[in-house]
């Protein structure tokens, strides 16, 4: 088993819909991971193929819960007081102190929910239709608990599930075409995100310092190879990771301190205006498992 697969990415966002050829699942707001389980050993990789098992040692037990060697695609997240806490899982991924990591793994263990399977019992299954992979995933998992599970879904009734997420103020749902194949490393229109709480990931290219001491992050997204200015979002300077300053301008905005390295940040907002800017944006947190080039319009 090679540990070099890439996740398949959602290709579009739409309003809720019903369709007999689609299934619908809850959207989890955490870190997308591939779990390689072989001989009861677990290798956890994020979307950038970086190893995470040292950050989340509680996931070393995943091998106990599956029937055979496998590669599971899923989400790693925190579920706290009825809510999924995106910022908390991001901060956990940045820890380096082994003692603190071990303490967190015991006191605040993360949750892993598998929603797809790429490899099972010495065979890659990515070229099987989604519903066949779902059956293989169900067969693969022999035990679930509060911190490891497989995603459940409903058939056809996307609007009903979406309304339930609104009632619970969850992030939204994902629609998946029932006959879709798994295209490693590709974006697919056979997977559609349907969000209740609108958010998106943006490139932070710089910031402006305000008289109050707060800062305004300059946000952009990629359109093919070009960065398009989207808008700004307020935060405190203490939340900004340390980066060196760029000298060259990226957009024509005065008094901007340009970052040497591009950051990714998740921002919640009421809506996008006709011009593409954001209404009432709020910074959720910085995103460290995503390349800037994947923050796209």
Q: Could you tell me if 155 and 121 lie in one domain?
A: yes
Local confidence band at 72 (pLDDT 50, 70, 90 cut-offs):
very high
The answer to whether residues 149 and 248 belong to one domain is no
C-beta of residue 263 within 8 angstroms of C-beta of residue 243? yes
The answer to which of 55-59, 217-221, 243-247 has the lowest mean pLDDT is 243-247
User: 279 near 230, Cβ under 8 Å?
Assistant: no
Structural domain contains residue 72: yes
Residue 2 lies in a domain: no
Whether 89 and 115 map to the same domain: the answer is yes
Q: Which residues constitute the domain of residue 102?
A: 9-195
Q: How many CA atoms lie within 13 A of 260 on its CB side?
A: 5
Q: Both 113 and 97 in a single domain?
A: yes
Burial classification of residue 101, based on how many CB atoms lie within 10 Å of its CB (0-12 exposed, 13-18 middle, 19 or more buried): middle
Q: What is the mean pLDDT of residues 74-101?
A: 89
276 domain-assigned: yes
* Entry pTM: 0.79
Residue 21 CA, distance from chain mean position: 25
pLDDT interval class at 254 (50, 70, 90): low
What local confidence, expressed as pLDDT, does residue 279 receive? 84
Number of domains, the chain: 2
Average pLDDT of the chain, as a whole number:
91
Window from 10-14, 57-61, 250-254, 258-262 with minimum mean pLDDT: 250-254
Statement to judge: residues 105 and 208 lie in one domain = no
- With a cut of 70, say whether residue 90 has pLDDT above it: yes
Which tens digit of pLDDT belongs to each residue from 122-142? 999 999 999 999 999 999 999
Instruction: State which of 166, 195, 224 marks the end of a domain.
Output: 195
Label residue 223 exposed, middle or buried (CB < 10 Å: 0-12, 13-18, 19+): exposed
Contact 265, 287 (CB under 8 A): yes
pLDDT at residue 250 tops 70: no
Q: Tell me, yes or no, whether 208 and 63 share the same domain.
A: no
Instruction: Give the per-residue pLDDT at 16.
Output: 96
Contact (Cβ atoms closer than 8 angstroms) between residue 16 and residue 172: no
Same structural domain, 25 and 159: yes
Do 37 and 163 lie in a common domain? yes
Judgement on whether residues 66 and 145 belong to the same structural domain of the protein: yes
**Strands 226-236 vs 172-177: parallel, antiparallel or unpaired:** unpaired
In a domain, 266, yes or no: yes
Examine residue 224 and state whether it is found in any structural domain, yes or no.
yes
Q: What is the mean pLDDT of residues 161-170?
A: 89
**174 in the same domain as 246:** no
Judgement on whether residues 203 and 92 belong to the same structural domain of the protein:
no
Distance CA 67, CA 61 (A): 13
What token pair was written down for 181? 């194949």
15 lies in the same domain as 115? yes
Domain boundary among the residues 147, 166, 195 is at: 195
The CATH number for 163's domain is 3.30.470.30
Residue where one domain finishes, among candidates 195, 219, 236: 195
4 is a domain residue: no
Residue 225, token pair as written in the block: 């190879």
The CATH number that applies at residue 279 is 2.40.50.140
Please determine, for residue 251, whether its predicted confidence score (pLDDT) is greater than 80.
no
Residue 147 within a domain = yes
């Amino acid at each position: 088993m090679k540990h070099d697969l890439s996740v398949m990415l959602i290709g579009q966002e739409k309003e809720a819909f019903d369709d007999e050829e689609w299934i619908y699942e809850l959207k989890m707001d955490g870190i997308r991971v591939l779990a390689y389980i072989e001989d009861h050993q677990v290798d956890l990789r994020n979307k950038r193929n970086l190893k995470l098992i040292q950050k989340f040692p509680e996931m070393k037990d995943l091998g106990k819960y599956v029937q055979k060697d496998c590669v599971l695609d899923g989400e790693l997240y925190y579920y706290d007081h009825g809510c999924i806490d995106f910022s908390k899982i991001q901060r956990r991924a940045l820890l380096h102190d082994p003692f603190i990591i071990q303490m967190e793994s015991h006191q605040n263990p993360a949750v892993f929910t598998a929603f797809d399977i790429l490899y099972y019992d010495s065979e890659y299954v990515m070229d099987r239709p989604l519903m066949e992979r779902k059956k293989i995933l169900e067969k693969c998992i022999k035990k679930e608990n509060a911190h490891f599970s497989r995603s459940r879904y409903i058939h056809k009734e996307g609007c009903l599930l979406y309304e339930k997420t609104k009632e619970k103020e969850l992030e939204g749902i994902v629609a998946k075409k029932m006959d879709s194949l798994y295209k490693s490393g590709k974006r697919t229109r056979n997977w559609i995100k349907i969000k209740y709480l609108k958010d998106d990931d943006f490139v932070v290219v710089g910031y402006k310092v305000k008289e109050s001491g707060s800062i305004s992050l300059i946000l952009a997204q990629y359109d093919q190879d070009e960065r398009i200015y989207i808008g700004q979002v307020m935060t405190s300077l203490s939340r900004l990771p340390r980066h060196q300053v760029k000298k060259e301008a990226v957009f024509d905005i005065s008094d901007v301190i340009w970052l040497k390295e591009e950051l990714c940040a998740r921002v919640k907002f009421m809506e996008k205006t006709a011009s593409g800017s954001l209404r009432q944006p709020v910074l959720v947190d910085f995103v460290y498992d995503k390349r800037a080039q994947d923050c796209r319009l």
